[in-house]
Structure 1
């Protein structure tokens, strides 16, 4: 006869566990024992035994009835505290003990364990919600060949030249073929963004129809309601140049460009962890480009048969033909210091001395800086980027920029900082020349020849192989390979013989143009037998400018020394575009289409950009309208509730105040 353990059939503890329930089910289902006998042996009522057998329960479950606690009146307050803590950083969050102390001050007299249990349950429920309903539901996306690409930035570290640097990495990925390119920069600025697009389109072999971005500051000036965006003007010009339509995701919605987001994660394993030590950033970008193209062939597409390279080859004919590279510079207005330097990003760069104390335009590219003045490129420097704030800025000199200064101040050649970077042949020659009296002036004349002749020829003649150096005429004779080779700078251009020094001085006395007077006096020195260096010293210019004055004087006489009016920079708009601008001004805006009731300068500039792809300033639009005979008029504001009949009644009710003028009173007869 089967019997239960003693602790069951003697009444037990009133608890049914899984082993106890298994014995009851075996007696009833296998041994066919009556319910009465099971009840007698277990001490349970027959209804309890029937309940467990009828419901088919294998593992007993016990429900804990809800019981009120002392924490219930404070549960909402504690929940609001916990929600507020999730928005703070870990170091700013309060502990559960601190919350318990705050609750005690509010009147809670329960234990700390009850508060800790409530916090644990709240966090478990929140974590469960985040892993289920909080994660959201998404729809898989599919893109046609050549339809779109996705762009994103990331931050990674690399060992470049033995130094560990923090890099800003641009990720560009075709949405259909999933071919990708990764390119590293030191900054996330406009010029870096434009350069990344050019290299991506170059590698892809064309331009897709759309670009999908997040709301990065280099592309979006202001995020509006819904999909409204104020797009940066330079970014819009770049998109217009490459003819693609930019689209921007909703804020904090990275899944709308999930392909490139995943590419950021994959790149850390496939690129950055296996990257070798490279010499510079250019070598790193070349390695990244080669590695990305190699991964195209190694990575299967999964959604389509073949690898990424196979699908890319099929997509490439669908891309738009690659246009020329966009001139993606950022323009800054800089004032040249008296020391012929401009400052950019804590570094200083030299500019030709003729532009000292003047405004110039600085065009910033990813790898170089171009100085532009009066529509012409003045000079160019390699760009220095150092993100460390602990280091002081550097100074980049070009000794050629200071030649005009040392022609007036030859003594500055001895300790001038820019001239420490001259070629070694010039430095050795300078040491020999400065040992004798007047050597600094002769050295200045030799260096000034760089402005008129090929620098390599001048350097060759100043080498140690040259036997004779005559600073005044700079004639060097040498015998290479058994042959006599003579190098002589060209003879000075003679002045025309129908004038003399006295005539030029007489013309200078009656001339009212200061610049023409200075030029006449400089050429008078040459007529009197002086050297071209003396004429340059009197005129305060270089030898090259003296030569230009001689050519102008020989061609047109004294009138050739006047400044001719300059045509200036050509207009960005042609006649056809000006007529189109006048037509829309005459037509006026359509409020339903143009979203304005009257044209403003900024609206017309935006219309020109969207219609012709030309970036113009508001001042340029104002100048074009002024030349066309238009004037800026602003209507007097009028209150919308103004009643014209009330205005007329008020005018009629006002009594006229007749006053005679003082003149009429004096003239009246008495």
Structure 2
């Protein structure tokens, strides 16, 4: 009969009390010594067995060395202290010891604690469970993540705002962790949640918010723009202690960033743009609402339903999260913003423009008119050149088209398609490089007023008919739009650009312009013989 000592003691005591068996009878019945019966009758709880001290003759010569290493660890940085594996490796390399890992682990796990206590080291700090009220507190943090963005492995940053009560978290990924991304993440989170937390929002000492940490206090010198932002939304920030000492003060969002990265950004996502990835984040966050945190009874979504109605309302006025710059357009039609260069329409060369740099895009204004918009670049020295911005210049300098950076980027982005290549080749073959390239530029100018798909359809129709004139492409593009029941033109914002060069001295008819570019008419010339017979008839013979 295989019984535990507790069960055996219980049965011995029960038989002695109910059946009145003697000590000898009890020992015989259960097959144990009378000393054990006597112990069971004296106490219902067995005495703990003494663990035998097993000698370790192979480790004995090295115990003093291990103790010295562990004592030195008390003054070493926490991340540079000996692990059991490191101790084992040093014993093998420096002392020639042949010892098993478990032998070293048993000794180190016991001696590390004894040495720390003997040296008077401070005990491990305890933690206090915080009481979170619905609609009040939240936590914010940035985390890193890698994304295959448009075929290139790119380092990105995940902004996370997590409500302390429900655990509802909102995320936004950008290629920057600057102030504009920091502010934009807040605005996105507040709009997603439908309100602003009424209590404290916990931060570490992020540079977009804090300019300087005042020594030995929780006071911070804030960035002026961050102060303006938090006053606009009525935020109450709480700044955690610097370094590892303050990591536990916002442990919820610290773990949230890692959890989100492991579950929704693994494996590395492949997307064409960050807008596509951010759109999928909404689905991820909805899926999280059905999860229970720890041993909670309710789900995140159930707690958030109670919390959402207690959030402060959003302010009616919007807040511009972007940073404003006023660069001058150089002679190449480019502006420089934070070590990156962007193109603007060539007609603004030499002028000062206003730029709003946001977390994911860059918008260029001349006065109140938007003249260009680009996705934000982050790599030092990166350039984004849009072919459409230079068409007026290329019309006057057609020889520069083939080797231009604008054309190369348009090809890589797919805006300059195989249809454009085929039209260009046909036009150059028929009219020469210069005139053929000018026809291509005229076709590219059609994209400003016609849908892209209609222009492509017009190019294909013109090529099928053997034509290589921009006028024919425009006509066929409008016919393609009307066939689909759509308006052939698109809305054009801002004034139409003026073409460079002198005004033409004479008016050229459309027929004359097309004469050399239309395919040869193979039909026979019309015959007027029958009409000539009418000339010989008199009036009285006329019917």
Question: Above 0.5 in TM-score?
Answer: yes
Aligned twin of 2:299: 307
Deviations 1:573-612 (A, max 9, x none): xxxxxxxxxxxxxxxxxxxxxxxxxxxxxxxxxxxxxxxx
**Using the alignment, how far apart are the partners of 1:478 and 1:269 within structure 2?**
49
**Using the alignment, how far apart are the partners of 2:212 and 2:274 within structure 1?**
32
Aligned twin of 1:400: 388
TM-score (norm 2): 0.58
Aligned twin of 1:446: 442
Change (3 A) 1:383 1:164: closer
Change (3 A) 1:394 1:121: same
Change (3 A) 1:128 1:278: farther
| Aligned partner (choices 481, 505, 517) of residue 530 of structure 1 | 505
TM-score (norm 1): 0.48
Q: Does 1:258 align with 2:251?
A: yes
Bigger CA drift: 141-150 or 194-203?
A: 194-203
| Aligned partner (choices 381, 397, 411) of residue 409 of structure 1 | 397
Aligned twin of 1:144: 133
Task: Check whether the contact 1:201–1:207 (CA below 8 A) recurs between aligned residues.
Answer: yes
Aligned twin of 1:245: 236
Change (3 A) 1:78 1:238: same
**Using the alignment, how far apart are the partners of 2:111 and 2:144 within structure 1?**
35
Change (3 A) 1:337 1:129: farther
Aligned twin of 1:217: 207
Change (3 A) 1:316 1:472: closer
SS of residue matched to 1:168: strand
| Aligned partner (choices 309, 312, 319) of residue 320 of structure 1 | 312
Q: Which runs of 5+ in 1 are unaligned?
A: 1-24, 30-56, 61-76, 99-118, 489-518, 534-670
Change (3 A) 1:454 1:80: same
Change (3 A) 1:332 1:181: same
1:586-625 equivalences in 2 (<5 Å): none
Aligned twin of 2:357: 364
| Aligned partner (choices 187, 195, 199) of residue 206 of structure 1 | 195
Deviations 1:119-169 (A, max 9, x none): 999854465599995332333222322212111223345677887765433
**Using the alignment, how far apart are the partners of 1:338 and 1:227 within structure 2?**
50
| TM-superposed deviation, 1:380 | 0.9
Change (3 A) 1:125 1:342: farther
Deviations 1:426-461 (A, max 9, x none): 54444444453662685388369559x614499379
Aligned twin of 1:538: none
**Using the alignment, how far apart are the partners of 2:404 and 2:360 within structure 1?**
28
**Using the alignment, how far apart are the partners of 2:445 and 2:265 within structure 1?**
51
Residues paired across the two proteins, number:
415
**Using the alignment, how far apart are the partners of 2:220 and 2:173 within structure 1?**
27
| Aligned partner (choices 182, 185, 188) of residue 196 of structure 1 | 185
Task: Check whether the contact 1:300–1:307 (CA below 8 A) recurs between aligned residues.
Answer: yes
Change (3 A) 1:145 1:359: same
1:499-514 equivalences in 2 (<5 Å): none
**Using the alignment, how far apart are the partners of 1:461 and 1:170 within structure 2?**
43
SS of residue matched to 1:313: helix
| TM-superposed deviation, 1:220 | 0.9
Aligned twin of 2:227: 236
Task: Check whether the contact 1:429–1:462 (CA below 8 A) recurs between aligned residues.
Answer: no
Aligned twin of 2:43: none
Change (3 A) 1:129 1:195: farther
| TM-superposed deviation, 1:173 | 1.2
Q: Which runs of 5+ in 2 are unaligned?
A: 1-34, 40-46, 51-67, 91-107, 490-497, 509-543
Change (3 A) 1:351 1:143: same
SS of residue matched to 1:339: coil
Change (3 A) 1:198 1:129: farther
Task: Check whether the contact 1:410–1:444 (CA below 8 A) recurs between aligned residues.
Answer: no
Task: Check whether the contact 1:333–1:359 (CA below 8 A) recurs between aligned residues.
Answer: yes
Task: Check whether the contact 1:461–1:476 (CA below 8 A) recurs between aligned residues.
Answer: no
| TM-superposed deviation, 1:416 | 3.4
Q: Does 1:187 align with 2:169?
A: no
Two-structure CA RMSD over aligned residues (Å): 5.7
**Using the alignment, how far apart are the partners of 1:464 and 1:269 within structure 2?**
48
Aligned twin of 1:292: 285
